[in-house]
Amino acid sequence: MAKQQDIFDIFKEHYNKMSKSHKKVAAYIQEHYDQAVFMTAAQLGKELDISESTVVRFAMAIGFEGYPEFQKELIGCVKKKLNTLQRMDIKYGSSSQSELLTSVLTADMEKIQDTINTLDPQAFDTAVETILSARNIYVMGLRSNEPLAAFLHFYLNMIRPNVVFLNTTSVSETFEQMIRINADDCFIGISFPRYSMRTLKAMEFANDRNAKVIAITDSQHSPMNLYSSCNLFARSDMVSIVDSLVAPLSLINALVVALCLKRPEEVKRNLEMLEETWNNYQVYLNDEINFIDDEPMLDYSLRKEKES
């Protein structure tokens, strides 16, 4: 057992070979490590409706002598995660507001540059072609990744039909929404640390149904790569209590632009149709500021009434 290895990396390493009950234990600990760290093997088994011996065998199956050794390693891992505020204070605690702003923005710029340097152009091209050729597109990202998935879904919907946004927190509802996924379809899973086991399970299901699976994640060590055939990596780590999603968002933005350039006429038709719909149904008349002759035009609908 390599003690320097993160326990969640160990989960990833053994996940494909795990039994169904062992995957259940791994999923629970991944999602609720702050609670699992205080549980005995019996308590964890009771929580998951499995036997205590199954929990012990899980610990042994991933390389520990028994559950106590596994729990000790989990405690060490959780301590590191719970020290995020302390690490942030060390890095930024003595900084002024302006220095803090510069430091954070500079760190985000570095992540974008690192993403540029490490992104595989062939994987990017493959993702573009896969998205354009698929019959249906399923997009999923949970927790802090949900805004990224929503952003991608919004623009994919303008580019092509049959785009499904899987944003439910229920695993069963996720499978219900993608029950017809097959080899003609594409699944895009977006997940950055802490990785989502629900997203991983959805990707596993899509892969089992022979769909094309695209992972948008942080590195080749991400568990999201287990079931994907195309991986797009963007840096997201940061010494903070919030995730830095600047580089992932830039990557998704580049993906959208590339898709638009591949289908310019179709995108133009869709946008013209949307514009006509917005005008016909006065969707944005009270929601946007328009500039006429460099002057903001407020209360547009009221002005139109006066002019008529």
Domain CATH number, residue 187:
3.40.50.10490
What whole-number distance in Å separates Cα of residue 6 and Cα of residue 102?
31
Instruction: Tell me, yes or no, whether 177 lies in a domain.
Output: yes
Instruction: Tell me, yes or no, whether 15 lies in a domain.
Output: yes
Domain total of the chain? 3
Residue 40 belongs to a domain with what CATH number? 1.10.10.10
**In a shared domain, residues 236 and 301:** no
**In a shared domain, residues 57 and 164:** no
Q: Residue 96's pLDDT is what?
A: 62
For 122, residues 6+ apart whose C-beta sits below 8 A from its C-beta are: none
167-191: pLDDT as tens digits: 876 777 888 899 999 999 999 999 9
Spell out, as residue ranges, where the chain has pLDDT lower than 70.
Answer: 1-5, 34, 79-100, 169, 237-243, 278-308
**In a shared domain, residues 31 and 131:** no
Q: Which of 82, 109, 133 is the last residue before a domain boundary?
A: 82
Instruction: Tell me, yes or no, whether 104 lies in a domain.
Output: no
Which of 173, 187, 183, 177 has the alpha carbon at shortest distance from 140?
187
Instruction: Tell me, yes or no, whether 160 lies in a domain.
Output: yes
Residue 248 domain boundaries = 120-262
Q: Residue 288's pLDDT is what?
A: 59
Instruction: Tell me, yes or no, whether 69 lies in a domain.
Output: yes
196-249: pLDDT as tens digits: 888 999 999 999 999 999 999 988 878 889 899 999 999 876 444 456 788 999
Helices (DSSP H) in the chain: which residue ranges?
7-14, 20-31, 33-36, 41-48, 52-61, 67-82, 84-92, 97-118, 121-133, 146-159, 171-177, 197-208, 246-262, 264-280, 300-307
Q: What does residue 10 show for φ and ψ, rounded to 5 degrees? A: -65, -40
Q: What is the DSSP string of 12-77?
A: HHHGGG--HHHHHHHHHHHH-HHHHTT--HHHHHHHHTS-HHHHHHHHHHTT-SSHHHHHHHHHHH
